[in-house]
Amino acid sequence: MAEREKTQVADIDRTVYDMRNEDKDAYRFEGGLTREIVEKLSAEKDDPEWMREFRLRSLELYNQIPVPDWGPDISGLDMDKIVTYVRPNAKMSANWDDVPDEIKDTFVKLGIPQAEINSLAGVGAQYDSELVYHNVRKDAEEQGVIYTDFESAVKGEYGDMVREHFMKLIPPTSHKFAALHGAVWSGGSFVYVPKGVKVSYPLQSYFRLNAPGAGQFEHTLIIVDEGADLHFIEGCSAPKYNLANLHAGAVEIYIKKGGHCRYSTIENWSKNMYNLNTKVARVEEGGSIEWISGSFGSHISYLYPMSDLVGEGARSDFTGIAFANTDQDLDTGCKVAHRAPNTHSYTNTRSISKGGGVNTFRSCVYVAPEAKGSKCAVSCTSLMLDSESRSDTIPAMDIRTDDCDVGHEARIGRISDDTVFYLMSRGLSEEEAKAMIVSGFADSVSKELPLEYAVEMNNLIRLEMIGAIG
């Protein structure tokens, strides 16, 4: 019998992401995490006293909370070697011409300035631990939209608002890496969209980690006021090094009554990255959050955006795709808490595993006793492209009212021979049929992205179809 020919799914072409600059002009802390380092960072940032104390309390918690033992192995992450702060030799500017050429070139190659011209209402570009560029379009500014770097917000006129909201959705007690973030956060953005304002174009923050052995701990705080509407895009990448890098950012989104936020992420860290990121949205009455999440990079990922539906009629939609290849263990998913009546959530995820990559879909749906009339649906589909890889689904549901409707479905498998056969009966060649199936598999996510990002995502999943699949 002839040996079965397998479909070849190409590795991601990472050339553009793997470009690296020597960080000879950067200022770096020594590696490790000590009280002295946290105090030095706080002084470097000229933190207000409350923030300094917050950092030190977080450090104490970090030292007390154990490393999680339920997810991917992160024993390769040696915090004594991670540099928690790297300041590039650049001051933040609202003009790309003021950004040093080497750094600017990196963002140009990543397409950020062009995207800003084409389709964005504002851009924040972080390089290692600091923002190097931050700008918001005049028309958005005139609508009262505040989009600024996080450190200015902490110390400036929005200081009280920041203090009221900072790490309230992700308290440092949440888990070890939330505590780490509380201790050494640096950079990030603050967004406030006033009542009733619909921001026509997305805002984007792009996080680039260039320094080897460094950590990036940006904090993003978004407040969407009553009836307001925002699309926020987060992008991230890093060149590959032979030593571990760490990303432990935090995203907190407050959506007031009737507000709406779409938060899109294309995560494309290098394969030496430990991506231990935390995201939470709190949604009030009639508000909605949409998470669009593409996880392609990193060596290890722990990523579960959470929607806390606290107001009647609040809604959450989560659409995610994860592509795990060689040396990747991506533990991704989401959490939804229905804590008010008539709340709705829908989760739809796709994952692809190949080349020994590990994908885990992990989720939790909680429906509180007071969440009467709520509806929740979770759907996850996983595609295994070889038997060296692994794909697990671990969804949990905790339902505490009878007056709700909860559905869950999961499917793991390979490309169906029947589907290929059917498409061939409709006139497609075998090659075309398989290409269509694999492309369509990721379509539910890419169609939710703005065109430029959908193109980027499709580039990330470049599929070369040769012959039959398994």
Partner 1 sequence: MENYIDLLPCITWKWLKMNGRTEDISPASHGAEGINIPEGWQVSDDRTAYGSDIDPRSNKQIEKALFDGKIVTGIGPYMDHTAKVNGIPVVRMTAGEAPLIIENRYAQDDHIMTCIEVTVPDGMHTTVIEKFLSEDDTTAEAAFQTKFIIGKNASVDFVQVQKLGRGVKLFNDIGSKIDKDGRLDQVYVLISGGKTFFGSRTALNGDKSACSLDMAYIVKGEEELDTNIAAFQTGRKTDTQITVNGTLKDKAKKLMRATIDFKKGSSGSTGKETEDVLMMNEGVINRTVPLILCTEEDVEGIHGATLGRPSEEIVTYMMSRGLDKASIYDIMEKARLDACTAKIADEATREETARYLHPEEE
Residues 67-106: x where in contact with partner 1 by CB under 8 A, - otherwise, as a string: --xx------------------------------------
8 A C-beta contact, residue 209 and residue 247: yes
8 A C-beta contact, residue 251 and residue 276: no
Decide whether 310 or 383 has the Cβ nearer to partner 1.
383
Instruction: Among 237, 395, 433, 457, indicate the residue that binds partner 1 (CB under 8 A).
Output: 395
The token duo for 122 is 């504002």
Residue 67: CB minimum distance to partner 1, A: 12
Decide whether 233 or 461 has the Cβ nearer to partner 1.
461
3-state secondary structure of 468: coil
Contacts of residue 56, Cβ cutoff 8 Å, sequence gap at least 6: 35, 38, 39, 183
Q: How far apart are the first and last CA of the chain?
A: 15
Asked if 35 touches partner 1 (CB under 8 A), the answer is no
8 A C-beta contact, residue 29 and residue 84: yes
Asked if 56 touches partner 1 (CB under 8 A), the answer is no
Between CA 86 and CA 215 the distance in angstroms is 8
Between CA 350 and CA 327 the distance in angstroms is 19
Decide whether 172 or 227 has the Cβ nearer to partner 1.
172
Instruction: Among 30, 46, 76, 369, indicate the residue that binds partner 1 (CB under 8 A).
Output: 369
The DSSP H or E segment spanning 275 is strand 273-276
Asked if 396 touches partner 1 (CB under 8 A), the answer is yes
Instruction: Among 391, 442, 445, 454, indicate the residue that binds partner 1 (CB under 8 A).
Output: 391
Decide whether 397 or 428 has the Cβ nearer to partner 1.
397
Residues 313-352: x where in contact with partner 1 by CB under 8 A, - otherwise, as a string: ----------------------------------------
**DSSP of 384-419:** E-STTSEEEEEEEEEE--SSEEEEEEEEEE---HHH
Number of residues that bind partner 1 (CB under 8 A): 37
Decide whether 33 or 385 has the Cβ nearer to partner 1.
385
Residue 132: CB minimum distance to partner 1, A: 37
Decide whether 81 or 411 has the Cβ nearer to partner 1.
411
Asked if 398 touches partner 1 (CB under 8 A), the answer is yes
Between CA 290 and CA 295 the distance in angstroms is 16
Between CA 422 and CA 163 the distance in angstroms is 59
Asked if 65 touches partner 1 (CB under 8 A), the answer is no
Which residues of the shown chain bind partner 1 in the complex (CB under 8 A)? 69-70, 362, 364, 369, 382, 384-387, 389-414, 470
